[in-house]
DNA sequence: ACAAAAGTGTTTCACATACACCCATGC
DNA sequence: GCATGGGTGTATGTGAAACACTTTTGT
């Protein structure tokens, strides 16, 4: 227990599950591996953890490498550690998932990795346990987005209610009633109506909204609707 | 990226946050370290991940080593990886939390580790980032127990409603109304009333209940109360 | 008979849901 | 003038919360 022996050391990688939303569909950014093993197959973007780097640092670095983005929403998903998950080497992988504004994503960087956005339902066959990672990420996203307003991280600064609703519908694979939906999201007080309309997708046009960043920060945890009644809390 | 170089390898440990409930208070099992570094200080029970072991395997092994228990509720909490978290070596730690029936715990095993149960509010100073681990575990427990009926994992086969209520009150540090509480838990259909009463803690005595294991399994996920209305799901 | 904890029911209110019509505009 | 998608209001039901008295029994 005390011998920090060399033989107990492991290779540790990070893998990034990157979600984006194009206004219609929830999407996932995958790369085509340009190196062995499994060269030519699709996978999540990943990389090895360096000696002086935390897992978060590594995931941030890897994400930036692929997308050019920093300061985006990222959350540790799970540590995958089956000794046989990579058939060639024993490599543990810490999976992170990110929510990015797909418009800020810098295409040119991705060319290097042959990256492509995939609809969730249409992802290709993936290496190792990356499919499990994605399934778990999706589940966690559903779980968390039901409680915290994280889906705004996928949207541009200005967005319309119909867009927001499509996003929720995509995440939950559900059809929602637009009257109830708009009442619910507006009742949070998190949205600020703009004067301009988005007029690409309809003749009438839909008003833009912006997120009230201050309230967003403040309400991020308050969004919880299941803890016992606040005034019973000691 | 392709060079799985030796120098990228890391020491990886697991640490176990072990919760128990004595009928009154939510408690935590800690050990007094009998080895360097930090010999003599309190810490979580942990151990290094072995070359052919998954992190889950390692945590299961470590938990059994301390408590003698297998097949208990265990969940991966988080991978802690700050390069400086252990000042002597770079060691990442994957934290797991467990919920055990404190009565099944085998005291004699723990003597070897000088283990003791602590009330959450009265935990001593701990090594490294173990305090952070515990805080996060508690938060996750609150989060999860609000949605899934996991707290039964802390109780013996037979328990009373007042005990169950104390448990919830301990986890949320809250005072609950017993009428509303009993209506709510009984409405889940998860509890089966027994004929015997527990007569230690009151003159009148409180009826024992058992968990309906089949319904528990079936309802474990159905307990969710926030997903969009089921009949809207595709 | 009294103290101590168990057990039980009703009212009120907020929120979630179901549901249908009018509006603005480009063509 | 019509087709397309945007925007709004109401009625109903369910579940959460507040609240107080009776029961049992050991001493």
Q: Is A205 left (phi over 0), alpha (psi -120 to 50) or beta?
A: left
Q: What's the average model confidence in pLDDT over A92-102?
A: 97
Instruction: Tell me the pLDDT band of A219, cut-offs 50, 70 and 90.
Output: confident
Q: Burial letters for B171-207: b for 16+ Cβ neighbours within 10 Å, e otherwise?
A: bbebebeeeebbeebeeeebbeeeeeebeeeeeeebe
* Res A5: pLDDT: 61
Mean pLDDT value across chain A: 89
Structure-block tokens of residue A30: 């995958």
Q: What's the average model confidence in pLDDT over A190-213?
A: 95
Q: Burial letters for A127-140: b for 16+ Cβ neighbours within 10 Å, e otherwise?
A: bbbbeebbebbbee
Residue A56: closest C-alpha in chain B: B81
Which nt sits closest to A162, CA to C1'? D6
Residue A127 pLDDT exceeds 70: yes
Q: Do A176 and B232 touch (CB under 8 A)?
A: yes
Instruction: Tell me the pLDDT band of A223, cut-offs 50, 70 and 90.
Output: low
Residues 162-201 of chain B within 7 A of strand C, judged by CB, are 162, 178-180, 182-183, 197, 201
* Res A14: pLDDT: 98
More confident residue, B229 or B60: B60
CB B219 within 8 A of CB B190: yes
Residue A225 pLDDT exceeds 70: no
Residue A2 pLDDT exceeds 80: no
Note the pLDDT tens digit of each residue in B115-170: 999 999 999 999 999 999 999 999 999 888 888 899 999 999 999 999 999 999 99
Q: Kindly state whether B222 is in contact with chain A, defined as any CB-CB distance less than 8 angstroms.
A: no
Q: Do A175 and B232 touch (CB under 8 A)?
A: yes
Note the pLDDT tens digit of each residue in A137-182: 999 998 888 888 999 999 999 999 999 999 999 998 888 999 999 9
What single-letter DSSP state applies at residue B76? E
* Res A7: pLDDT: 66
Alpha-carbon distance A80 to A133, whole Å? 8
* Res B123: pLDDT: 95
Residues 173-192 of chain A within 7 A of strand D, judged by CB, are 178-180, 182-183
What is the CATH topology of the domain spanning B150-229? Arc Repressor Mutant, subunit A (1.10.10)
Phi, psi of B161 (to 5 degrees): -60, -45
Instruction: Give all strands (DSSP E) within B22-124, no chain letters.
Output: 26-32, 42-43, 45-48, 73-80, 91-99, 116-119
pTM value is 0.92
Q: How far is the CA of B202 from the C1' of D25 (A)?
A: 9
Q: What's the average model confidence in pLDDT over A212-227?
A: 72
Alpha-carbon distance A171 to A181, whole Å? 14
B88 CB-to-strand D distance under 7 Å: no
Note the pLDDT tens digit of each residue in B158-204: 999 999 999 999 998 888 999 999 999 999 899 999 999 999 999 99
Q: Which helix (H) or strand (E) holds B174?
A: none
Instruction: Tell me the pLDDT band of A71, cut-offs 50, 70 and 90.
Output: very high
Q: Which of A137, A59, A92 is nearest to B13 (CA)?
A: A92
* Res B100: pLDDT: 97
Residue A52 pLDDT exceeds 90: yes
Instruction: Tell me the pLDDT band of A114, cut-offs 50, 70 and 90.
Output: very high
Residue B222 pLDDT exceeds 70: no
The ranges of chain B annotated as CATH 3.90.79.10 are: 11-146
Listed as own residue / partner, the contacts of B193-196 with beta carbons closer than 8 Å and 24 or more positions apart are B194/B158, B196/B158
Chain pair A-B, CB pairs under 8 angstroms? 124
Instruction: Tell me the pLDDT band of A222, cut-offs 50, 70 and 90.
Output: low
Q: Which of A2, A91, A80, A85 is nearest to B48 (CA)?
A: A2
Residue A230 pLDDT exceeds 80: no
Q: How do strand B91-99 and strand A191-198 relate by DSSP bridges? A: unpaired
* Res B5: pLDDT: 61
Between the CA atoms of B224, B227, B228 and B232, what dihedral angle is there, to the nearest 10 degrees? -80
Instruction: Tell me the pLDDT band of B230, cut-offs 50, 70 and 90.
Output: very low
Q: Do B173 and A55 touch (CB under 8 A)?
A: no
Residue ranges of alpha helices (H) inside B39-173 are 55-67, 107-111, 130-145, 161-172
Residues 197-226 of chain A within 7 A of strand C, judged by CB, are 199, 203-205, 225
Note the pLDDT tens digit of each residue in B56-101: 999 999 999 999 999 999 999 999 999 999 999 999 999 999 999 9
The ranges of chain B annotated as CATH 1.10.10.10 are: 150-229
- Cα A14–Cα A17–Cα A23 angle in degrees, nearest 5: 155
Q: Closest to A2 (Cβ–Cβ): which among B4, B36, B50?
A: B36
Alpha-carbon distance A63 to A86, whole Å? 21
* Res A146: pLDDT: 83
* Res B119: pLDDT: 95
Q: Kindly state whether B89 is in contact with chain A, defined as any CB-CB distance less than 8 angstroms.
A: yes
CB B62 within 8 A of CB B47: yes
Q: What's the average model confidence in pLDDT over A2-27?
A: 86
Residue A1 pLDDT exceeds 80: no
A161 CB-to-strand D distance under 7 Å: yes
- Chain B hits for A142, CB-CB cut-off 8 Å, are 227
Residue A226 pLDDT exceeds 50: no
What is the CATH topology of the domain spanning B11-146? Nucleoside Triphosphate Pyrophosphohydrolase (3.90.79)
* Res B213: pLDDT: 93
Alpha-carbon distance A25 to A33, whole Å? 25
Instruction: Tell me the pLDDT band of B103, cut-offs 50, 70 and 90.
Output: very high
Name the percent of chain A lying above pLDDT 90.
Answer: 72
A39 CB-to-strand C distance under 7 Å: no
Name the percent of chain B lying above pLDDT 90.
Answer: 72
Mutate to test the interface with B, among A166, A226, A230 (most CBs of B within 10 A): A226
Q: How far is the CA of B231 from the C1' of C20 (A)?
A: 20
């Amino acid at each position: 227990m005390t011998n920090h022996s060399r033989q107990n050391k492991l290779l540790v990688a990070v893998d990034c599950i990157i979600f984006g939303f194009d206004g219609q569909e929830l999407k996932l950014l995958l790369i085509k591996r340009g190196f062995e093993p499994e060269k030519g197959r699709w996978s999540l973007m990943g990389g090895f953890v360096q000696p002086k780097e935390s897992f978060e640092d590594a995931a941030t670095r890897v994400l930036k490498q692929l997308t050019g983005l920093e300061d985006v929403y990222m959350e540790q998903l799970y540590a995958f550690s089956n000794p046989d998950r990579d058939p060639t080497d024993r490599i543990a992988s810490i999976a992170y998932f990110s929510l990015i504004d797909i418009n800020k994503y810098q295409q040119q960087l991705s060319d290097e990795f042959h990256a492509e956005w995939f609809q969730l339902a249409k992802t290709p066959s993936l290496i190792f346990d990356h499919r499990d990672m994605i399934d778990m990420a999706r589940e966690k996203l559903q779980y968390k987005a039901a409680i915290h307003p994280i889906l705004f991280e996928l949207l541009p600064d200005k967005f319309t209610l119909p867009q927001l609703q499509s996003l929720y519908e995509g995440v939950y694979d559900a059809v929602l009633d637009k009257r109830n939906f708009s009442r619910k999201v507006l009742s949070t007080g998190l949205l600020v109506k703009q004067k301009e309309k988005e007029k690409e997708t309809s003749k009438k046009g839909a008003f833009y909204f912006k997120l009230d960043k201050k309230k967003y920060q403040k309400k991020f945890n308050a969004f919880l609707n299941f803890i016992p009644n606040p005034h019973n809390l000691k």
